[in-house]
Amino acid sequence: MAFKWTEGDHVTSNIVDATEQNASFNNLKGEMNGGLDRENLPNSSVSNDELHQSAFVKYAVAANMRAQATSVLDLHWGDTAAGPNAFQQEYIAIDFNTYTGGWRTNPAYSIESLFQEGMLHLEFNCWYWLSNHLANGTIQGWCQFQIVVNGTPVVSGDKQYQNVGQSHLVVDIPISTGQHKVELRWRIKPWHGRDMTDPIFYYDGGQLLALNRYR
Amino acid sequence: MDARLKLEAPRLGGIDELLPQKDESATILENFTVDPATGGWDNRIGYEKFFPGALAYQPFNLEKRIHSLYVWSTHNGARTYHLFESENIVSQRVDLKFTVGNTGTGGGLVTVDAFRKIPTLNEPVTDYEPFGRYLIIVNGHDKPMKFDGERALPLGWETTPAPPTPWRPDPEDSLPGGDAQNYAFVDDSAGIDSSPLGFSQNLGLGYQTDGSAEVENSYKWRVSWVSETGSESPLSSSSEIVLWDTPDTAGGTDPAFVGKRQGVYLEDIPVGPPGTVARRLYRTKNLGKGASVDANASYYFVSEIKNNVDTVYSDYTPDQFLTTLSPSDTNSVAFPAPGARFSASFKGSLFLDGGQSDPTRIYYSNPLNPDSFSASDYFDVGMRDGGDITGMFSYYNSLILFRESSIELVRGDNVNGFNVVPFIQGIGCSAVHSVTAVPGVGIVFLGNDGVYRLFGGLDGGSQVQIEKMTPNLVKTEKRINKSVMARASATYSPKWREWHCYVPVDGEDKPSFGLVYHVDKNAWSTRVGFPVGVIAADAGGELIFGHNTGKPPGIVTDYETGLFVISRKRALGYTLSGGVDPSTQASPPPVAKYRSKWHDMGKAATKKFVKYVYLHVMTKGDNTIPLTYYKDFDYAGISSTGEKMQRADHPDQQVFGTALWDTAVWEEPMFTTIRYPIAQGAASFFAFEFDTQNDIVLVGYSLEFGANKTQTIKGKR
Amino acid sequence: MSTVNSTNEVPGDVTNAVSVNTKFANVATASGAINEENVRSEGVDRRTLESYTGGRREPLVFVDYDDRDNSAATVHPNQTGEGFVTISNVLLDLTASPLTVTAGDLVRIHFTAFLTGIDDGQYATWGAAGSDSGGPNRSFNPADAIGIVFFPMWRIANPGSFVPLTNEADLNTTLVSPADIVINDSTDKTDSIAFCSMEGYLDSGNCVSAREVHGTWNYIHTGANVTIYEVNLNFRGPMVYEYNGASRVLHSPIWNAGRYDITCMDIPQSPTNRFGITVGNAQLSIMVMRGDS
């Protein structure tokens, strides 16, 4: 309630009325004590100097996100001159010995924080490597990422088929006040005939950003 | 002669124009309010500028008459919009604006919609109705709109979307051009794993074959818009049909394309009007060939395009994913009431009248969606006598439909359906902006022959009743200019506990006369001299009004314009002075006039000799109140000297102008009686009157009189 | 004090000018300190917030972007991954008004880059010539982790040169193949890179990738202030993600040698051992925010 008008008008030769005086003064006093709003405050008057840095948003970043449960694994290449397994190379990656299919939530990286009611802007970005083909044209692998909030997926990338690439996920969700957990999960095409010890998939350089815009 | 006869009127009532008048009533009661401390009549009122500290009438610079006014509060009062329509001096049209309290250089105005039609003198002005987080604004001429505090958007769907344009696939890549022309999808045949084991996901449109024979495919699409309220527009007509054959191995078709499904590229996805946030795409399942191509097909939901920008879409959703049928064509139609004059929110639906071109029809929206209307959601009240619809008001568990000479009620809900039941014939209301809900009283409105109240309900054993509130204001009712009743404006103020209704009287074209109902006293008084064109109460009960005349073009002095507030300021408006840099001077207070009833002391035929009038007042100070007294309905009375509103037999209370700080004490009004000597001969009927611009709180009065056996002489021939 | 405390005048008490003056002075004082004590809930809204005309604006401190506009795609011949290329016509130049980042600020750098293609028409990540060429020994060759690495750098000294972002790997190192850029979890991270596959289809002797990648870098600054003068976008490659026995690395191999030799994967297709990389449009943006963290 911003607008206040005359509650008591003091007129010459009227008694020095304490009741009228109190009503006039207290009308304005009441407005000062917790009633000021945008009708009282000048337009464009609240600037950086008045705003606390935490007035609008809260953010959290989980950086350096990468695949867990990895191991040092070999890939081999055959050569027309030297024969099969002529070349090998080690990778830090996962193999089908440890991955049996389905969604895997990254156990080491997440954001768990007290958010305020409003909107939660989530971004995830990482690079990945997927051993997606064999030269004989069989086996087309894919990978997929999702962001999960309190166990529920809120955004999903589509399946990605290239040997290396980026996953970039962005979503805005309404969020209630309270502790919330934001996690990443991924999956790849389940076992499709590759050697169980071949490195198949790895992701690194991942960052999860949670930006809470207060209502 | 016994001088000790006394007539006491300890507690005063309101106006009574019927003869004989009720005890303690008044003949004239102008410009009074009720003193909350004593219940007496208090004349400490006036009006002041909406922006009291402004230079002249800033920011109201171009305003002539204010035609409509509405105070809309959201966010528990943190955002309050004082919306008004003012006639623009320059443009000869009306602008819809709201006030801004502090622009940094004083008050300001923001225009919501300009160049609106000026209402004629006898038609109702713009109607405002809150609906959810919007304010619905209709006036019967300009496009109905919804206002959310930031933008004004059109209400409803004016048009139907246009259908999209599908591109026919080239399944065999047979057309010229360097790059591949088709949009084939790999199927799940042996050796090519495109899905995790166990999935039968198989993207694309069209029949998938083993390539031994061609099969024909055909599809059609429709599209709809979705507004930010969640309302879905009517569906577009069907797109043109897209036909292609799933190729076989014959004719040297590339084996990669044999038997494959296709994606279809759609363009010309229509962009919706302002306020649209998404488009929904619907499609038939494969209509194959022959008779099924022309058959009425069912459309299914494909996808929602979550923006209002994209004009293209690639559809590769296979038929087996289409499970949700599209809404029927009758679920949402083009906005049926572009000429709506009145709106009301009832049971989650928005009700609109059909406008001047369709004056007996009422349309209602789909539940919670003010923009979407089904084809059959309306009723026609024209089948019964009662005239055109003149207003709507939601009350308790019914929607009241006011008509020219009857009142009807809309009952029911969206689940079981709405129906119209007649309530009363013979009483109507043309003054839709006088309809107000008054706590403890009911719905109060200015009917065609007086003020009525509707109260009660139709459920739980209750009963809807109607009662005339002004049976005693016969003379005043006759002054009302019935031709322009639609311009009467009323509101209830919980702060003043009064219902104010301003009406045009004496043939005038604009409201200028106020009828005030005082809830606590169940009494009526009048307001004279307040230039109220339209009035509204804000959340705190402050009475805000728009000037009924405003700034005439070419006049630079002696005008008032803009919004004002009825308050305790002891001034009746302002005069303007100063030429180039005008400033306003407060005018003197309003003249408060009280004329008592005509007293016959119980026996009209006997002559009485009134000796004294005692006014029971609260002390106010040294400003005097003179009295005039009348006998036997004479036009002219006798004036007495003014008396101070101080206790007669005690030292005067300290007053402003003579009291000294640190010497005088704070005072408070004290109850006292002021005696006025009356020098009047014999009278059958006696009345007294005072009209004053000084402050007075009149609690009651008493008369001291004598009587002898003198009687009225016989009548004249 | 932002609220007004006062007592009513009492009838019968002497009118005290000092008392009344104090009451009004109290109002003046409170009106000079408008804060949460006198402003109602939801009392400050968009109208009362100052419009953004430049400079800091909570929570948005700064935002700027650039793109390559209508520049034609640029061809970068003889690329091996040993050096890097700064993509032309996309630069955030804040020199005229350098941006100071303080502790607690969130820096968000986003970029997109479009890889038009490479000049190795028969390129395939498992090796050229498919499964049957040269016999069955190559038919089970797997796809390798080859791609172009796009990455931003910034200049935070004046005068100074562009350096990798805070705690990012030494992506601007000049290598002599075979050599590695080491990746670790502390000071040599790869959060800011976008790893772009060169897989594509054969067209007029080139491998058309036609692929856009999106890289981001989010950083909540700690410690002393940092001043940003310029931000640019770069690429190097092709590079290979590997493990060198001690660390994860981005490796710059000798192309057409080892497993990339003509008898194995033949990358790039002989006789050349370097790549012509064509880069199309690119966008680069920076946003600095201030809030709770």
What is the 3-class SS of B231-298, one letter each residue?
CECCCCCCCCCEEEEECCCHHHCCHHHCCCEECEEEECCCCCCCCEEEEEEEEECCCCCCHHHHCCCC
Please check whether residues A113 and A11 belong to one and the same domain. no
Which of residues C115 and B248 earns the better pLDDT score? Answer: C115
Measured CA to CA, the distance from residue B459 to residue C64 in angstroms comes to: 63
Q: How confident is the model at residue B198 (pLDDT cuts 50, 70, 90)?
A: very low
Please check whether residues A7 and A67 belong to one and the same domain. no
Please check whether residues A42 and A74 belong to one and the same domain. no
* Range of weakest confidence among B203-207, B410-414, B460-464, B654-658: B460-464
Whether the pLDDT of residue B598 is over 60: the answer is yes
Question: Which residues have CB under 8 Å from B595's CB, separation 6+?
Answer: B26, B27, B28, B29, B687, B688, B689
- Write down the pLDDT at residue B193: 44
- Using one digit for the tens of pLDDT, what is the confidence trace for B150-164? 899 999 998 999 999
Give contacts of B 628-657 with A, CB under 8 A. Answer: 653-657
Locate the chain A residue with the closest alpha carbon to B105. A42
Min distance B218 CA to chain A CA atoms (Å): 28
Q: Which of B506-515, B571-580, C265-274 is predicted most confidently?
A: B506-515
Give contacts of A 142-201 with B, CB under 8 A. Answer: 189-190, 192
Q: Is residue A147 part of a domain?
A: yes
* Range of weakest confidence among A105-119, B15-29, B395-409, B560-574: B395-409
3-state helix, strand, coil in chain B (%, to 5): 5, 45, 55
* Range of weakest confidence among A80-94, B179-193, B279-293, C39-53: B179-193
B662 contacts C11? CB cut-off 8 A: no
Residues of C in contact with A91 (CB under 8 A): 145, 241-243
Please check whether residues A70 and A42 belong to one and the same domain. no
Q: Is residue A52 part of a domain?
A: no
* The pairing of beta strand B242-246 with beta strand B215-219: antiparallel
List the Cα angle C256/C262/C266 in 5-degree steps: 65
Q: Is residue A83 part of a domain?
A: yes
Asked if residues A86 and A78 have their Cβ atoms less than 8 Å apart, the reply is yes
Whether the pLDDT of residue C132 is over 50: the answer is no
Whether the pLDDT of residue C131 is over 80: the answer is no
Whether the pLDDT of residue A57 is over 60: the answer is yes
Residues of C in contact with B668 (CB under 8 A): 11
Q: Which SS3 state, helix, strand or coil, does residue C48 take?
A: helix
Q: Which SS3 state, helix, strand or coil, does residue A119 take?
A: strand
Closest CA to B360 of B343, B385, B377: B385
- Write down the pLDDT at residue B464: 82
- Write down the pLDDT at residue B166: 93
Q: How confident is the model at residue B294 (pLDDT cuts 50, 70, 90)?
A: low
User: How many domains does chain A fold into?
Assistant: 2
Please check whether residues A163 and A204 belong to one and the same domain. yes
Measured CA to CA, the distance from residue B45 to residue C160 in angstroms comes to: 75
Q: How confident is the model at residue B579 (pLDDT cuts 50, 70, 90)?
A: low
Q: Is residue A174 part of a domain?
A: yes
Min distance A15 CA to chain C CA atoms (Å): 11
- Using one digit for the tens of pLDDT, what is the confidence trace for C45-79? 878 877 766 655 668 888 999 999 777 899 999 99
B693 touches A: beta carbon within 8 Å: no
Q: Is the ipTM of this complex over 0.95?
A: no
B655 contacts A8? CB cut-off 8 A: no
Give contacts of B 23-82 with A, CB under 8 A. Answer: 44, 46, 48, 50, 52, 77-80
Asked if residues B75 and A14 have their Cβ atoms less than 8 Å apart, the reply is no
Please check whether residues A36 and A76 belong to one and the same domain. no
H helix or E strand, kind and range, residue A128 = strand A118-130
Q: Which chains touch C (3 or more CB pairs under 8 A)?
A: A, B
Across residues B363-372, what is the average pLDDT? 92
The full length of chain B comes to 717
> What are B91's two structure tokens?
């443009």
Please check whether residues A101 and A186 belong to one and the same domain. yes
Which of residues B182 and B68 earns the better pLDDT score? Answer: B68
Intra-chain end-to-end CA distance of chain B, in Å: 32
- Using one digit for the tens of pLDDT, what is the confidence trace for C213-249? 999 999 999 999 999 999 999 999 899 999 999 999 9
> What are B439's two structure tokens?
């706590």
A150, A151, A156, A157: CA torsion to nearest 10: 100
Mutate to test the interface with C, among B179, B619, B662, B663 (most CBs of C within 10 A): B662
Question: Which residues have CB under 8 Å from A194's CB, separation 6+?
Answer: A96, A131, A134, A139, A200, C142
Measured CA to CA, the distance from residue B285 to residue A48 in angstroms comes to: 57
How high is the mean pLDDT of chain B? 89
Measured CA to CA, the distance from residue A141 to residue A139 in angstroms comes to: 6
Asked if residues B312 and B353 have their Cβ atoms less than 8 Å apart, the reply is no
C15 contacts B666? CB cut-off 8 A: yes
Min distance C64 CA to chain B CA atoms (Å): 24
Range of the domain at A41: 1-47
pTM of the model: 0.81
Closest CA to A189 of A166, A161, A163, A165: A161
Intra-chain end-to-end CA distance of chain C, in Å: 30
Min distance C198 CA to chain B CA atoms (Å): 19
Closest CA to B206 of B237, B253, B242: B242
Locate the chain B residue with the closest alpha carbon to A11. B656
Which of residues B52 and B513 earns the better pLDDT score? Answer: B513
CATH number at residue A156: 2.60.120.760
Locate the chain A residue with the closest alpha carbon to C142. A134
Q: How confident is the model at residue B31 (pLDDT cuts 50, 70, 90)?
A: very high
- Using one digit for the tens of pLDDT, what is the confidence trace for B109-150? 999 999 999 998 888 999 999 999 999 999 999 999 999 998
> What are C5's two structure tokens?
């405390």
Please check whether residues A27 and A104 belong to one and the same domain. no
Residue B102 has its nearest CB partner, among A1, A40, A140, at: A40
B78 contacts C40? CB cut-off 8 A: yes
Give contacts of B 650-689 with C, CB under 8 A. Answer: 654, 659-668
The full length of chain A comes to 215
Residue C192's Cα: distance from chain center in Å?
5
C47 contacts B75? CB cut-off 8 A: no
Measured CA to CA, the distance from residue B330 to residue B378 in angstroms comes to: 13
Whether the pLDDT of residue B564 is over 80: the answer is yes
Measured CA to CA, the distance from residue C175 to residue B254 in angstroms comes to: 47
Please check whether residues A76 and A116 belong to one and the same domain. yes
DSSP state of A4: -
Please check whether residues A14 and A83 belong to one and the same domain. no
DSSP state of C22: H
Mutate to test the interface with C, among A77, A95, A96 (most CBs of C within 10 A): A77
Question: Which residues have CB under 8 Å from B612's CB, separation 6+?
Answer: B675, B676, B677, B678, B703, B704
Whether the pLDDT of residue C136 is over 90: the answer is no
Whether the pLDDT of residue A152 is over 60: the answer is yes
How high is the mean pLDDT of chain A? 90
Q: Is residue A117 part of a domain?
A: yes
Please check whether residues A109 and A202 belong to one and the same domain. yes
- Using one digit for the tens of pLDDT, what is the confidence trace for B166-193? 998 888 877 777 655 567 765 544 444 4
- Write down the pLDDT at residue C18: 82
Min distance C177 CA to chain A CA atoms (Å): 16
Q: Estimate the crossing angle of helix C17-32 against helix A18-32, to 10 degrees.
A: 20
Whether the pLDDT of residue B279 is over 80: the answer is yes
Whether the pLDDT of residue B568 is over 80: the answer is yes
Proportion of chain C above pLDDT 70, given as a percent: 94
Min distance C27 CA to chain B CA atoms (Å): 17
Residue C12 has its nearest CB partner, among B662, B663, B666, at: B666
Across residues B84-88, what is the average pLDDT? 93
HEC string of A7-61 equals CCCCCCCEECEHHHHHHHHHHHHHHHCCCECCCCCCCCCECCCCCCCCCCEEEEE
Please check whether residues A103 and A125 belong to one and the same domain. yes
- Write down the pLDDT at residue B195: 47
Q: Domains in chain B, please, with CATH?
A: 5-44+591-711 (2.60.120), 165-321 (no CATH)
- Write down the pLDDT at residue C56: 53
